[in-house]
A and B are shown apart, each in its own frame.
Chain A
């Protein structure tokens, strides 16, 4: 594992990156080197658990790999709706996982929590499916009437848990149909506002997984092009809603009403 990478376009305290190489170091847990959009090599620190190492290997390292490979990863929780993917984006702590958990409770299948990788190698943007687990904080679990007994912690020192969701036989890829950006209804009426053009592109680009990486990797043009390509084919909307577990039913009602109408028709 090198101490640094050659030709880095960005060097920070935790990671450094170039266009096709990414070196990450979390003391006490793991070091990762990601290269060519193909390979992740990691070095586990003594005593680090699979779960702890996994946070970074399947998080930042995998995110870097996606950007290197020219894929478009979203920081999103994603569910299946009528054979298509619906992704929820928003800053960390906005409530994506909690909303996804609510939808799972109501019978929807989870396609992913944290990252949603969008592929553009066929006629429409698609999301790959695979094993999934929700990542929920203690208070979210409590808010949903569950407890953390028997669940693995995401990181040893934090009350955040992996909640496995039943594996299902889904096709390898499903089309991405809708993206909702979570917003707090603070002094604004709750509702769903569909956005187009520049606004849609901005929503997607700002919610790319590890959205700072593209600039640091000198890949801003790629990010723009992928965000624009995705926005042109997907229904992008703002989900403005009141925060709080007591409002989850109301939010679900808003989504159901929106789903009863066809997605905004795109090319």
Chain B
């Protein structure tokens, strides 16, 4: 997976993950790495949307609408998050 991503790319959360809700946070474990992660509000929503294969462009559109942010800002904000998910084997490119 090469960053920055093209908006036509179809992304999907890695199925091999484990998560739990703790104190209102979504905490996840990468089974591969054994490390734990916490997702904030935006991160949670992105993660939720990634549970089905979704085109990056559609993901951005949804977030822009729900969080009322500018599209460029949104893309700039979530790209590092997507990169970090990818780095931790939590994100795949759907075929």
Residues of A with Cβ closer than 8 Å to B? 196-202, 205, 215, 220-221, 224-225, 228-229, 231-232, 266
Contact = CB atoms under 8 A, between A and B. Distances in A.
B29 A220 contact: yes
Interface string B51-77: 000000000000000000000000000
B95 interface: no
B52 to A, nearest CB: 23
B36 A232 contact: no
A198 B31 contact: no
5 contacts: A197-B23, A201-B27, A220-B29, A228-B20, A232-B22
- Find the residue from A200, A225, A228 having the highest chain B CB count within 10 A: A228
Contacts of B37: 198
A100 to B, nearest CB: 27
Interface string B22-54: 111101010100101110000000000000000
A225 B34 contact: no
Contacts of B1: none
A121 to B, nearest CB: 18
Closest 9 CB pairs of A and B: A198-B38, A197-B25, A228-B20, A196-B23, A224-B29, A197-B23, A232-B22, A220-B34, A198-B27
A202 to B, nearest CB: 6
A176 B90 CA distance: 33
* Chain B facing A: main interface SS: strand
A215 B35 CA distance: 11
A156 B31 CA distance: 41
A225 B20 CA distance: 7
B38 A232 contact: no
A233 to B, nearest CB: 9
A224 B38 contact: no
Given A224-B29, A228-B27, A197 B36 contact: no
A136 to B, nearest CB: 33
Given A198-B37, A202-B36, A232 B21 contact: yes
B90 to A, nearest CB: 14
Contacts of B21: 232
A28 B22 CA distance: 45
A232 B18 contact: no
Given A198-B37, A201-B27, A224-B36, 15 more contacts: A196-B22, A196-B25, A197-B22, A197-B23, A197-B25, A197-B38, A198-B38, A200-B23, A220-B31, A221-B18, A224-B18, A224-B20, A228-B27, A231-B22, A232-B22
